[in-house]
Copies of this chain bind each other. A is one copy, B any other.
Amino acid sequence: MRQVICPPSPSCSPDLEDFPLQYLSLADECRSETAAARSTEVKSVRAAAMRSSVSFHLCLLLCACLGVACVAGVCVWSSQWRGGFAWGTSGLKFNWHPVLMVSGMVVLYGFGAVVYRVPLTWGGDKLPWKLAHASLMLLALLLSVVGLCAVFLVHGAERIPPLYSLHSWTGICSVALFAMQWAVGLGGFLLPCSPVALRVALKPLHAWLGASILMLSIAACISGINEKLIFVLLRTVNGTQPYSSLPPEAVFANSLGVLIVVFGLVVLRILSNRNWERPEPGSQDMVYRPLLQEENE
């Protein structure tokens, strides 16, 4: 299969914001009938690619800000309303759970997922960026496992059965799938002995499962925040207002949930925009090789 691509003229590409970023470096090579027409075309292609690049980087900046806000938000909730952090005290040990799960399974995971979309990573060898992707994901997995340990230890100490709620089922499934995805990704894409055919077959499944795990993690976060607020604000105890009257803690934690969802949607937007994908080898000479042939690194 072989596809020959010429960058479009602006007249046939109204969606300039979604213009493929890789054309930025190809604009000078665009052939036209006359020198004047070529000059105009090159300028338009360059301008469209620049707009696409700006819109991508704005999206990435939004993603980074939302990620930082999510981590800051869950830390503030735990420290301001739930007593802060300690590993020795059972109640305070629990507070590591939301912080580590949101930081690992959502924010670091999201950052790791969009690594290949950053144009900075497109030049030269792909291996260092594969290692960066795998390292970010490993760190995310480790944080999540420590976050799970915290809640298992608290349940054990307080004689609460583990893994009974749908929140816990969703959460444990997402971490288990993530661990499997990481191991298969390591074997399939990083070990030099893995055959090309395996990489080609794995790539679309890896991308789909990656987005699915993020979706599962977000569902686990939403149900987890909801569950925690029901438990701690169920009745008016010691002057605490019930969840249904939306006290400041409820408004804050609900808003944290909304932030987490918005972060996830921005990550999915970055991943789903085909014009922001890493150009594969061969595009420099105006030949685009589609997915079934291009993954041979």
| CB of A237 within 8 Å of the partner chain | no
Q: Interface 1/0s, chain A 50-83, versus B by CB < 8 A?
A: 0000000000000000000000000000000000
Q: Interface 1/0s, chain A 216-232, versus B by CB < 8 A?
A: 10111011011101110
Q: With contacts A170-B261, A257-B169 known, is A7 near B17, CB below 8 A?
A: no
CB <8 Å contact, B292 and A170:
no
CB <8 Å contact, B160 and A3:
no
CB <8 Å contact, B1 and A230:
no
| CB of A191 within 8 Å of the partner chain | no
CB proximity of A293 to chain B, nearest CB, Å: 5
Count this chain's copies in the assembly.
Answer: 2
Which of B4, B166, B243, B274 contacts A254, CB < 8 Å?
B166
Whole-angstrom distance between the alpha carbons of A116 and B160 in the complex? 48
CB proximity of A33 to chain B, nearest CB, Å: 15
CB <8 Å contact, A201 and B170:
no
| CB of A215 within 8 Å of the partner chain | yes
Q: Smallest CB-CB separation from A257: which chain B residue?
A: B166
**B-contacting 9-mer, from A96-104, A127-135, A203-211:** A203-211
**B-contacting 9-mer, from A86-94, A141-149, A265-273:** A265-273
Whole-angstrom distance between the alpha carbons of A268 and B230 in the complex? 31
CB <8 Å contact, B292 and A18:
yes
CB <8 Å contact, A219 and B291:
no
CB <8 Å contact, A161 and B268:
no
Q: Smallest CB-CB separation from A197: which chain B residue?
A: B14
Q: Smallest CB-CB separation from A293: which chain B residue?
A: B12
Q: Interface 1/0s, chain A 148-165, versus B by CB < 8 A?
A: 000000000000110011
CB <8 Å contact, B166 and A14:
no
Q: Smallest CB-CB separation from A273: which chain B residue?
A: B204
**B-contacting 9-mer, from A107-115, A118-126, A244-252:** A244-252
CB <8 Å contact, A3 and B1:
no
| CB of A184 within 8 Å of the partner chain | no
Whole-angstrom distance between the alpha carbons of A208 and B18 in the complex? 13
CB <8 Å contact, B164 and A246:
yes
Whole-angstrom distance between the alpha carbons of A264 and B219 in the complex? 12
A273: chain B residues at CB < 8 Å are 204, 208
| CB of A5 within 8 Å of the partner chain | yes
Q: With contacts A164-B246, A230-B165 known, is A1 near B14, CB below 8 A?
A: no
Q: Which 7 A-B pairs have the closest CB atoms?
A: A14-B197, A1-B8, A223-B223, A3-B3, A219-B219, A166-B226, A166-B257
